[in-house]
Amino acid sequence: MLKPLSPARIPALIPTTLLLSVLATNGALQAAPLNVDSEKQQDLSITLYNQDLGLVRDVRSLPRIDQGQTLYIRDVSHQIMSQTLQVENAGKILEQNLNNNLISVYALLNAYTGKMVQLARFNSVSGSETISDALLLSSDGNQALVEYQGRIETVPVNQQGWRFIFPSVPEGMQSRPSLEIRSDGTTNAGEAVLTYLTQGLSWQMDYSLVVNNAGDQLKLDGLATLNNNTGVDFHNSKILLMAGQVNQASAPMLRQKAVMLRAESMADSGAPQSFQDYQLYKLPQRASLLNGQTKQVSLISADKVTAEKSYHYQFEVYPSLDRQTYDQKPDINISFINGEKEGLGFPLPAGTARVFSPDAEGLRHFIGSAMIENSSKGQTVNLPIGKAFDLTIKQQQSLFEKTYDSFLNGYELQLSNSSEQAKEIEITANFHQDWKVTESNQPYKRVNASQLRWTISVPAEGNARLEFKTELKNLQK
């Protein structure tokens, strides 16, 4: 006959299954952390933007993850924007942290303030070193204050002959940033996908233009300059370049991630691609972009682009008396249409254009530079590269009269050409109030409500003259 259990034994037997469950759970929570560095990397893509911004998609192999097990992902950008981090295929994420407490002399001094350290001093005369225990009281980065052998003393930081010896690396301090992740675990090994935005990545365009002597044709080469200042190397990466101004405040991470994935698939079909009101370029081959490295790659090339060289001068017309005489040089302008018929016909990202031209012996010389703004197909690109040496414009006011409701202005411009070729100069007058032309010795064109323009041919080693009069409305009447 079975005897009933005594009350003393009931508490010891009932919790047995519960105790086993708790021990199993604790075992899972206390499982050894997993360290996943760049050696586990299976794929890598980076998209560079023009404004110190990059989007990283990093695929790494993972073993099976226990519930609550800590996962340390190393070799990520030191400038990662942690609020943009997305992790896929690593189980449901319970917690993620960016550990950016990096080890340094100053970090160790701060961590050991109020604690015991060892102080080593080298005697250059005897060649011996003494080591003593000291209490670190404070440090400002240059001097440390310590309690040493019953006295309070200052000790120079990073000065020859003195050094601090710290007993160990404080908890949480590390040599490089890492992502610390806890999830509800996975049932099998797999590949985790990390996507994040980071500062420290950027790119820009630099153009080299070679213009022939006639100025009617040019050769264009566009180099993309890539910069990596993230603190980490990107090896064997697929590199994409996004051209255009992206508003970071209105681009949430989920949308950015979708943009990148779609951008990769589109760029595979060739570069460039029009994408989400921007232009996307993909480097034809995978490449490595190391920390601190500036890499240049050829992105755009066109051999025979129809061009035009012209000369421009503009001035302001005000309702006031001006007794000065101005000697000016007109601007040299190189322009071309971004069209297929003209030898281009594909988007040009913004960048600096440096213009060269060969001399009589074929040697190229630098003749000026200007900015190319983002240029789509069909747009005209204008590059003011300098001032014309052989052309001179002498300008003076020839008339100024004030009437009841208007001002009468007259101007005279003497145009001189000392070169052996005839040249045309485009002259533009800018107005700031209602106006009309009353006289002009040269044909003109009204460009818009505030501009008047003449195109005047100046003979070789000769002169030309422009005289005109205008009536300006008196705004105070």
Cα-Cα-Cα-Cα dihedral sign, residues 67, 69, 70, 73? negative
- Sequence-separated (6 or more) residues with CB below 8 Å from residue 267: 240, 273, 280, 281, 282
Measure CA 249 to chain center: 16
Measure CA 300 to chain center: 19
Q: How far apart are CA 351 and CA 449, in angstroms?
A: 32
Element (H, E) at 39: none
Q: Are 300 and 208 in contact (CB under 8 A)?
A: no
Q: Of 348, 339, 228, 227, which Cα lies nearest the Cα of 281?
A: 348
Provide the 3-class DSSP secondary structure of residue 70: strand
Place of tokens 């040496």: 389
Q: Are 427 and 314 in contact (CB under 8 A)?
A: yes
pLDDT at position 21, please?
47
Place of tokens 């255009």: 244
Side chain identity at 220, as an amino acid letter? L
Q: Provide the CB-side half-sphere exposure for 71 (13 A, CA).
A: 28
Q: How far apart are CA 249 and CA 231, in angstroms?
A: 24
Q: Which long-range contacts (CB under 8 A, 24 or more apart) does 16-24 make?
A: none
Provide the 3-class DSSP secondary structure of residue 12: helix
Question: Cis omega (within 30 of 0) on the bond before 272?
Answer: yes
The dotted CATH code for 105-165 is 2.30.30
Domain ranges of the chain: 105-165, 308-473
- Start-to-end Cα distance in the chain: 123
Q: What is the DSSP letter of 474?
A: -
**Is the whole model's pTM more than 0.75, yes or no?**
no
Alpha carbon distances (Å) from 161 to 151, 155, 156, 333, 379: 20, 11, 9, 64, 67
Per-residue confidence in pLDDT tens, the chain, 477 aa: 444 444 444 444 444 444 444 444 444 445 788 888 888 999 999 999 988 899 999 999 988 988 888 888 888 998 999 888 898 998 888 888 877 777 778 888 888 899 998 888 888 778 788 888 889 898 887 888 888 888 898 888 877 778 888 888 887 677 777 788 888 888 899 999 999 999 999 999 999 999 999 899 999 999 999 999 998 999 999 999 988 666 665 444 434 444 444 444 444 434 455 544 567 888 888 999 999 999 999 988 999 999 999 999 999 999 999 999 999 999 999 999 999 999 998 889 889 999 999 998 989 999 999 999 988 889 999 999 999 999 999 999 999 999 888 999 999 999 999 999 999 999 999 999 999 999 999 999 999 999 999 999 999 999 999 999 999 998 765
pLDDT at position 155, please?
85
Q: How far apart are CA 401 and CA 403, in angstroms?
A: 7
